[in-house]
Amino acid sequence: MVETGKSYIKPGIAQEAEQIRKAVADPAEFRPVYNTYFKEIFRFIYKRVGDKELTADLTQQVFLNALQHLGKYQFKGAPFVSWLYRIASNLCMDFFRKSKRVRHVVIEEASLESLVDELTSDQTMEEWHQRLPVILEKLSESELQLIELRFFEAKPFKEVAVILDITETNAKVRTYRVLDKMKKLFLER
């Protein structure tokens, strides 16, 4: 572990921090960061927009924005990729606001099971499978974003907090409020 003031950083994160410091000084040093996270960010965006060309454009914009603002990056206890997710998430939201296109939500079976386990044990997976798309449509953009990050992307609360620029406690509280809302929407039928 590496000590930074009062906190400790895992060795992998310390190496990543060193790579970021190098990239701030020399933008050519950003290539390893780009190569490491390109596919992950591409997949994140593709799950939201559902169009490969648009996803490629938005992914490039994420890394361009990150490179342009790299000097403003501050370590907050989560991997650097969390900051990239925040940029990607904001770009996607801006895109949907401006274009008024339909937003996609891709739900993998394992993610669905995790979400259903959190929501209830009274209803069957099949019931949730049928009703979940309608319930997700009734959530606000910020509520949907919480559910996607926590359950569909399987991010820990600490990373969700960094991505959304909120506290970890706030991420937990908001997530459980959304889950309660989803339970109520399910019972409305």
Please give the pLDDT value at position 19. 86
For the chain, the domains span 2-99, 109-188
Going by C-beta distance under 8 Å and a sequence separation of 6 or more, which residues neighbour residue 54?
Answer: 95
Q: In whole angstroms, what is the distance from residue 115 CA to residue 59 CA?
A: 27
Question: What CATH topology corresponds to 2-99?
Answer: Rna Polymerase Sigma Factor; Chain: A (1.10.1740)
At the topology level of CATH, where does 109-188 sit?
A: Butyryl-CoA Dehydrogenase, subunit A; domain 3 (1.20.140)
Q: Inform me whether the pLDDT recorded for 45 exceeds 90.
A: yes
The tokens of 177 are what? 């409020």
Distance CA 184, CA 24 (A): 48
Residue 156 burial by Cβ neighbours in a 10 Å radius (0-12, 13-18, 19+):
middle
Q: In 3D, which of 130, 131, 135, 161 has the Cα closest to residue 146?
A: 161
pLDDT value, residue 3: 39
pLDDT in tens, 60-103: 999 999 999 998 888 777 788 989 999 999 999 888 888 876 66
The Cα angle at residue 148 between residues 113 and 184, in degrees rounded to 5 = 70
What's this model's pTM, rounded to 2 decimal places?
A: 0.69
Cα 165–chain centre separation: 11
What is each CA distance from 185 to 66, 129, 138, 156, in whole angstroms? 38, 14, 8, 25
The average pLDDT across 16-45 equals 90
- Residue 6 confidence (pLDDT): 42
